[in-house]
Chain A
Amino acid sequence: MIQSLNRLKETPSQTAGPYVHIGCVPNFSGIAGVYPEDLGGAMVNDKTRGERITVRGKVIDGSGTPLRDALLEIWQADADGLYNSPSEMRGTADPNFTGWGRSPTDMQTGEYVFRTIKPGKVPFRDGRPMAPHITFWIVARGINIGLQTRMYFGDEAEANEADPILSRIEHRVRVPTLIAPREGDTYTFDIHLQGDRETIFFDI
């Protein structure tokens, strides 16, 4: 016999269901007066440093239909590449930038929207810079465990080329599923859950 490792098991995930809005964005769902505002709706204020951008898109199922009941969260560094987190040891992030945002998809159009700033570069584990990116987490009815992916920026071709994670992707034809094209100050990042254009999801 040997000693037990004695680890607990992680609580298993379950779907967020169609009424995730009640708990996570109650004001959006029409439940007024419980919370003053929905968390994650305002990532920036007037003093936030960095270039203001909009990130928008749809989450699309295997039939091509946009999900109108999904909830997305993003997590990103500030303009200098620092995270607003106690585990950030490299410096102090911009106090006027939360780094975290939450958006439901519109109940009619299926579109999500984040008003944020373009993040700076952060280092990979070996110190090489990663290209600017935003980490996404997607939950919805029919999604049993939150899907993790990343959005990279279409106008950062050189940095994307050198990115340690993008360059590890064997099926090069799939790399563009993580890169959002820019138009004006808006990046459009559609997430395909299934099929030929399926977005790359991470087990990370």
Chain B
Amino acid sequence: MISNRKPETGSFFQRDRLWHPPAYAPGYKTTVLRSPKYAYLSLDNTISEITGPVFGHSVLGELDNDLIHNFAKPGESAIGERIIVHGRVLDERGIGVGGALLEFWQANAGGRYRHQKELYMAPLDPNFGGCGRTITDENGYYTFRTVRPGAYPWPNGPNDWRPAHIHFSVFGHGFAQRLITQMYFEGDPMIPHCPIVRTINDQKAIEMLVAALDMSATIPMDARAYKFDIVLRGRRSTMFENRKEGN
């Protein structure tokens, strides 16, 4: 941890399960057999959920946040539209989450993933792996460099294509904050067609996943920039904790 802010021990605000996508969303066919049918058991957090792993910068390699170069041969780089993705990790109170590990993965510029189960005919880029990671600074800021991923067909409906997207895995400070999501790109006409985007019922929630073109962070003659902020669950204070149940 690089912050000298005192660690917090309060419970996280409850999740708004109507804001998140439901488990069962039949437009996305794989959810049909992978969604629980029983209701979840609701509980306030215990110490098992308010604590969580925190990762030090020592896990990071020099090129971990540079997908253009972290898989490339010396002197070469990935093919595609060079972009910077940056933003902040905040919690629901608007407080920056420092020391948060972010992992990201994506297809290459042609929409091809480097994965043995992937059969799409678009070719691999020999200089692009597709994985990266970073840790937010004490104010919650992060940045990485990559190429803009291509749209990609998938066997759901007979003619379904994913919008260009980057997957994000986010750790906060407590295991109950654990989140995986996807970032989309401003202006992509594929977004409203996508059955995975459409598992989310609230248009405002979908908008939270669409990164804005950020010309102010764009580096002239080098790379365009997109800004993507991520919000994790906030926490209650601890001032009324440790009372017997029912009091």
Which residue numbers of A lie inside 8 Å of B, CB to CB? 6-24, 26, 29-31, 33-36, 39, 61-63, 65, 67, 69, 73, 75-77, 83-89, 98-100, 107, 122-127, 130, 133, 135, 137, 139-148, 150, 165, 168-169, 174, 193-195, 198-204
Contacts and interface: CB of A to CB of B under 8 A. Distances in A.
Given A12-B205, A31-B130, A89-B9, A204 B42 contact: yes
Given A11-B231, A137-B175, A33 B64 contact: no
**Could you say which of A14, A22, A107 has the most chain B C-beta atoms within 10 Å of its C-beta?**
A14
Contact of A12 (B40, B70, B181): B181
Interface string B1-42: 100000111000111110111110100111111111110111
Contacts of B196: 14-15
B241 A19 contact: no
Which applies to chain A's interface (DSSP): helix, strand, loop or mixed? Answer: loop
Contacts of B179: 10-11, 13, 146
B23 A143 contact: yes
Interface string B220-247: 0000000000111110000001111100
Interface in B154-175: 167, 169-170, 173-175
B40 A203 contact: yes
Given A23-B132, A87-B7, 18 more contacts: A6-B94, A8-B93, A10-B232, A12-B205, A14-B21, A15-B199, A30-B114, A31-B130, A35-B61, A35-B133, A86-B54, A126-B242, A143-B34, A144-B199, A203-B14, A203-B41, A204-B42, A204-B45
Contact of A31 (B35, B71, B243): B71
B175 A22 contact: no
Nearest to A69: B117
B92 A19 contact: no
Interface of B: 1, 7-9, 13-17, 19-23, 25, 28-38, 40-55, 59, 61, 63-64, 70-71, 90-94, 103-105, 113-118, 129-133, 167, 169-170, 173-176, 178-182, 196-197, 199-200, 204-206, 208-209, 230-234, 241-245
Nearest to B44: A125
Q: Which 6 A-B pairs have the closest CB atoms?
A: A23-B105, A142-B30, A85-B51, A142-B34, A100-B53, A86-B7
Contacts of B129: 22, 26, 31, 34
Contacts of A140: 34
A17 B106 CA distance: 11
A123 B47 contact: yes
26 contacts: A9-B16, A9-B92, A11-B232, A13-B181, A14-B182, A16-B169, A17-B167, A23-B103, A23-B130, A23-B133, A30-B115, A31-B130, A34-B63, A34-B70, A35-B131, A39-B59, A85-B7, A89-B7, A100-B52, A122-B47, A135-B49, A135-B175, A142-B30, A144-B21, A194-B35, A202-B41
A10 B64 contact: no
A100 B53 CA distance: 6
A67 B34 CA distance: 9
B28 A22 contact: no
Contact of B36 (A8, A63, A147, A150): A147
